[in-house]
Amino acid sequence: MAPLAGEKRVSTALVAIVMIVATAVIVRTKSASRSGRNDENIEAAVMLKRYSYESVKKMTNSFAHVLGKGGFGTVYKGKLPDASGRDIALKILDGSKGNGEDFINELASMSRASHVNIVSLFGFCNEGSNRAIIYEFMPNGSLDKFISKTMSKKMDWKILYNIAVGVARGLEYLHNSCVSKIVHFDIKPQNILMDEDLCPKISDFGLAKLCKNKESVISLLDARGTIGYIAPEVFSKNFGGASHKSDVYSYGMVVLEMIGAKDMKRVGNSKSDNVSMYFPDWIYEDLERRETMKFFGDNIMEEEKKIVKKMVLVGLWCIQTNPSDRPPMRKVVEMLEGSLEALQGLTGLNTVVTVAETEVCRSRWLRFQTLLSILYDWYNV
C-alpha cells in the first residue's frame, strides 16, 4: 500500500531533523576536540607557570600601565606575584582575532628557546577566551624607538654594531642550536627589545614555525610577516621556498634601517635621483659611485667607518633576491665579528647563474658580484 502524502512529509521532516542534530553534534565534538587539543598542545609544549586571569589582573594593577599595542593584543607592565616583585611585561591577546594558533606558536617557540638574545618567558594564562603571555620587561623598549632617538643625535656606531651582532647571534641560535629549529618570520625593529644594558632580545614569536632540524623548505599556507621586511619567497613561490633564509632577508633589512638607510630625510642627501626608489637600490648606486660615506656626514671617525661599511656589506648580502644567495646566520655572525679576511668569505658564494633564474634575479646577482670588488677596496679606504 502506497504511503499517504502527509506521511511522506512527516518522514522527510524527521530525516531533516535527524541530519541537523547529527551535524550539530559532529561540529560540537570537533570544536571540543580542537579546544582540547589546543590545551594539550599548550601543556605539552611548555613547562611554565600557569596563572589565572585574576592573577594577571593583579599583576598589572588592573591593566593600568600600557607599554604598547600590536596586531594581536596589548602589552602591559606588571610585577611578578612573588617575593622578588620583578618587573614583567604581559601581552594580553585579543580574543576576537585568530583561533589561538599564534598564542600556541609563541608559547611553543619561546618555551624551547634559552639564549641571551631571546626574550625569556615566565608564564602564561589560558582561561577561556582570556590569553596572556608573561615575559621579562625590557626597560629600553623596542629597537625602532631606539633608532628614532639615535637618529636625532650623534650616532653611536659601536652600540648599533653590538645590537646588530646580538640579533644575529639570537637568530643563529634559533636556526641551528635551539632544541627545535625555529624560523621567526617576523623579524623587524618592533620585535627586537632592549634591556637595561642595550642588549637586544628577539621577541614576538606569534608567526614562528617549529621545524625538523633537517627541514630546509617550510610549507606556508599564506604569506606572513610585515611589509618591508618580508622575504620575496614568503609571498611568492616564484622566488623559491620559505626557509631560515627568509629570516636572513628580514635581518638584512633591519641592519640597513639601523644605519639610517630608510630615513627619508637623509635620502635627500644622496645623489641618487629618485627619492622614492627602493632604498637598498640607491645604496647600490651610491656604492658604485663610491659616495656612500658622504651619506653619514663628516663627523664619523675612522673606526666607525669600518663598522658602517661592514654593516652595509652584511645588510646588502642578506637581502639578495634568491634565498640560496643569502648567507646563513652563522656566516653573518662570523662576518660581523671578524676582520676583512672574514668578509672575503663572500668569494665562496655560488656564482653560477642558471637559465631558469629570472632576468631580475640575474641582473641583481651579477650587479652584486660586480660590487664585491668595489666593497673590498671601499672597506680599506
- With 90 as the cut, is the pLDDT of residue 378 above it? no
Range(s) of the domain holding residue 343: 143-379
Q: What's the maximum distance between 2 C-alpha atoms anywhere in the chain?
A: 105
Q: 152 and 127 share a domain?
A: no
**Per-residue pLDDT at 359:** 39
Q: 193 and 340 share a domain?
A: yes
Residue 181 annotated in ligand binding: no
Single out the residue in 136, 157, 172 at which a domain terminates: 136
Identify the bridge partners of residue 91 per DSSP, sorted by sequence position. Answer: 75, 133
How high does pLDDT run on average in the chain? 76
Q: 61 and 188 share a domain?
A: no
Single out the residue in 136, 170, 203 at which a domain terminates: 136
Mean pLDDT of 333-355: 57
Mean pLDDT of 125-137: 93
Q: 202 and 244 share a domain?
A: yes
Q: 239 and 293 share a domain?
A: yes
Predicted confidence band at 3 (pLDDT cuts at 50, 70, 90)? low
**Per-residue pLDDT at 86:** 92
Q: 128 and 163 share a domain?
A: no
Told to judge if 195 belongs to the known catalytic residues of this protein, a careful annotator would answer: no
- How many CA atoms are closer than 13 Å to the CA of 188, on its beta-carbon side? 14
Q: 192 and 279 share a domain?
A: yes
Q: Which of 186, 247, 286, 325 is catalytic?
A: 186
**Per-residue pLDDT at 22:** 64
- With 90 as the cut, is the pLDDT of residue 54 above it? yes
Q: What is the CATH number of the domain that holds 352?
A: 1.10.510.10
Q: Do 252 and 316 touch, CB atoms closer than 8 A?
A: yes
- With 70 as the cut, is the pLDDT of residue 102 above it? yes
**In angstroms, rounded to a whole number, what is the distance separating the alpha carbons of residues 70 and 191?**
10
Q: How many domains does the chain have?
A: 2
- With 70 as the cut, is the pLDDT of residue 350 above it? no
- With 90 as the cut, is the pLDDT of residue 375 above it? no
Smallest Cα–Cα separation from 320: which of 275, 297, 351, 298? 351
- With 60 as the cut, is the pLDDT of residue 293 above it? no
Mean pLDDT of 56-62: 95
| Distances in whole angstroms, Cα of residue 210 to Cα of each of 111, 181, 219, 231, 298 | 12, 6, 11, 18, 46
Domain assignment present for residue 32? The answer is no
